Amino acid sequence: MPIQTTSKIWHNGNLIPWEQATLHVMSHVVHYGSSVFEGIRCYGQPQGSAIFRLPEHMQRLLDSAKIYRMEVPYTLEELCAGVVDVVEANGVSPCYIRPIVLRGYGEIGVSPKGSPIEVYIANFPWGKYIEGNGGADVCISSWNRLAPNTMPALAKAGANYMNSQLIHMEAEANGYQEGIGLDVNGLVSEGSGENVFVVRNGVIFTPPLGSSALSGITRDSVLTLARHLGLPVTEQSLPRELLYIADEVFFTGTAAEVQPIHSIDRIVIGDGKPGEITKKIADEFFAIVNGLKPDRFGWLTPVKVNASEPVRA
Ligand SMILES: Cc1ncc(COP(=O)(O)O)c(C=O)c1O
């Protein structure tokens, strides 16, 4: 779906017109993928609008930048305030928020020293990422996720998404909605843009961060919800074949939210319907983000958005 534009983008502390948020083709990021970014959702609620886990997302942005020795000249508080400013200025809710830190126009060598750090924050309407409430049909990709000590998987870096593109394009080309990558040891890692959860015999499993999985904010939220619901949950290495014999499998992610999986490599998971535990967690997650249950974990940052026009889902 083409990006639906909004009015302003936050750039280095100022709100500038959407059309003016442009880069020179010789910018370092264009050639070497030198960016780190975030994806955040702002939800419409009966009592107003609220951004989901804003400080955690912006802290991960700063962590990603630190891994790549990018010095961001803004504090966590300033970045969070920038997100609130742009969301309120654009008057679009619900929306998806995309902060990005990149190396701009300066020198063309691989060394990033002479290229300035630029920070942008945009927001725009974005509906469901994976279609199909009954569950997604996915495959195991022939492409592995990033091997340890190559591209750091804990950094949400633009360059990592070349690997995500390979996984996602292969899946689509073969008629699946999404692909799951294995790690360098052949163990389950994650989807091209989602963490993976497996349920078997009442226990919830998800791969550890050491399996080259991103430290997903939704993953963390689901782990927290599961523990509070009294559901047994464990982070451990998962062999590929456990996916096929699982009772339930689901994705988590800011874009995908909590997404049941119907089949993997055309093997139907469980009885082919979203499972009880997946539903329990999804219900709890959506009740909190949609403001239908109290925000008991302090996950929501309220924003004053006078949405000028309804947003298409
Ligand atoms: C590769 C990858 N894994 C996992 C996730 C899920 O992370 P989060 O829940 O923070 O959006 C994402 C999305 O950001 C992703 O791109």
Q: What is the pLDDT of residues 34-76, one digit of tens each?
A: 999 999 999 999 989 999 999 999 999 999 999 999 999 999 9
pLDDT band of residue 127 (cuts 50, 70, 90) is confident
From the candidates 66, 113, 156, 273, which is the catalytic residue? 156
Ligand 1 lined by 217 (C-beta under 6 Å) = yes
Give 196-244 pLDDT, tens digit per residue: 999 999 999 999 999 999 999 999 999 999 999 999 999 999 999 999 9
Task: Please give the structure tokens belonging to residue 112.
Answer: 């990033």
Tokens of 195: 């963490």
pTM score of the predicted model: 0.96
Q: How many CB atoms lie within 10 A of CB 228?
A: 11
- DSSP state letters, 108-171: -SS--TTS-EEEEEEEE----SS--TT-EEEEE-SS--PPTTTS-TTS-BTTHHHHHHHHHHHH
Give the burial string for 82-99 (b: 16+ CB within 10 Å, else e).
bbbbbbbbbbbbbbbbbb
The CA 92 to ligand 1 mean position distance, Å, reads: 23
Rounded CA-CA distance 168/172 in Å is 6
CA of 251 to the centre of ligand 1 (A): 10
- Is the torsion defined by CA of 88, 92, 96, 100 positive or negative? negative
State if residue 179 touches ligand 1 by the CB under 6 angstroms criterion: no
**Longest Cα–Cα distance in the chain:** 57
Establish whether 280 is a catalytic residue: no
